[in-house]
Structure 1
Amino acid sequence: MSAQATDIAGLVSSVVEPLVEFPDDLEITSSEADDGTILVEIRVHEDDAGKVIGRQGRVIKAIRTLARAAASRTDTHVEVELID
């Protein structure tokens, strides 16, 4: 895993961690595909999923936008997914 994937996962973690009530259940993993795409997966306690998604998906969209903006500095594509 590249340093950039780790940095983006850390960025996502720093945004998501204050939102959740069960930080012990928070798990953020990142992996890099063959084409250079970075996939960041967020796993949270089932009671926290709504907080991370937000009303009409606004919070998760903002997290995705922030991660993509950080990766755009090096022309890297990022996908952020909330795993049930």
Structure 2
Amino acid sequence: MKNLVELLVKSLVDNQEQVNVSETSGSSITVIEISVAPEDVGKIIGKEGRIANALRTVVKAAGAKQNKKVTVEIVTKDKEA
């Protein structure tokens, strides 16, 4: 699942080397956390959140096929001062 999300996100952003996808599995749900460069956040979210919702839909469908409940969170990396 993590590899699927990483492939999709890297195809959307300009700074592919700053994409970080982590997967945390709990007892009832798996959380996939996407971290991208601040200038790429808009590309992941999309207009009115359409791309983010599409990513969540794809992941939810892939998780349902494996009988898992999966959610996606988008996190930004802060620029260092």
Note whether the superposition's TM-score is higher than 0.5: yes
1:73 and 1:23 mapped to 2: Cα distance?
Answer: 28
Aligned residues: 76
Runs of 4+ in structure 1 off by over 3 angstroms are: none
With the length of structure 1 as denominator, give the TM-score of the two structures.
0.87
With the length of structure 2 as denominator, give the TM-score of the two structures.
0.90
2:40 and 2:55 mapped to 1: Cα distance?
Answer: 15
Superposition map of 1:46-65 within 5 A: 46-65=38-57
2:22 and 2:3 mapped to 1: Cα distance?
Answer: 9
1:27 and 1:33 mapped to 2: Cα distance?
Answer: 20
Contiguous gaps of at least 5 residues in structure 1: 1-7
Question: Which residue pairs with 1:27 in the alignment?
Answer: 20
- RMSD of Structure 2 on Structure 1 (CA): 0.7
1:73 and 1:21 mapped to 2: Cα distance?
Answer: 31
Displacement of 1:46? 0.1
Identity %: 30
1:10 to 3, 16, 28: 3
Contiguous gaps of at least 5 residues in structure 2: 77-81
Question: Which residue pairs with 1:76 in the alignment?
Answer: 68
